[in-house]
Amino acid sequence: MITRKDNLKTASDNFPEIGPILAGYGLHCIGCHVSAVESIEEGCMAHGLSDKDIVKLVKDANAQIKLFDSLPDLSLTKKALLNLKEKLSKSKDKYVRVFPIFGGFDFETTSDKYDNEIIVDAGIELLLNAKARRFLKGVSIDFDEKKSDFIAKRKPLKK
């Protein structure tokens, strides 16, 4: 959970799911260098939000965090799992790393695990950093043979 005194960048890094909430209140500057030194409250005040708005923003963001906390980890469909198992067998590596790219994600096989990565068992051992794991909670990864690429599906979130 977050508070109005929390650092804006840290809060959005730890809970990437609050990005749309922050943007909805006019805080589109999450990547701005000032977000690294401002609290949520300071950022809100700089953008003209009232104290009432700040209370509501924090409440809405915490509701989104609670919703994401209840979601299962990333899962793989049978087609995606088969495709990734094939990549693993060809590479002789131990893990599949999931990493973000341009608002999406990609996979690479590896035998090296970084200290900041978590192993998620999805039929194979997936490596994700905490932010990627959080971002991909509740997502099912499928493999689209026509596109020869992986696609992500998330059921609509229910509040």
**Chain CA centroid to CA 129, Å:** 9
pLDDT at residue 55 tops 90? yes
Residue 119 covered by a domain: yes
Q: What letter would DSSP give residue 124?
A: S
Quick: pLDDT tens for 106-125.
Answer: 899 999 999 999 999 999 99
Q: Are residues 146 and 127 in the same domain?
A: yes
Order of all β-strands in the sheet with 95-101: 104-110, 95-101, 125-129, 117-121
Q: Are residues 81 and 147 in the same domain?
A: yes
Q: What is the mean pLDDT of the chain?
A: 90
| Domain of residue 148, residue span | 75-154
Tell which residue, 139, 155, 19, has the closest CA to residue 76: 139
pLDDT at residue 47 tops 80? yes
Global pTM value? 0.74
Q: What is the DSSP string of 66-87?
A: HHHHTSPPPEE-HHHHHHHHHH
Q: In this structure, which amino acid lies at residue 84?
A: L
The CATH number of the domain where 25 resides is what? 1.10.3910
- Residue that is last in its domain, among 69, 92, 112: 69
CA–CA separation, 154 and 142 (whole Å): 11
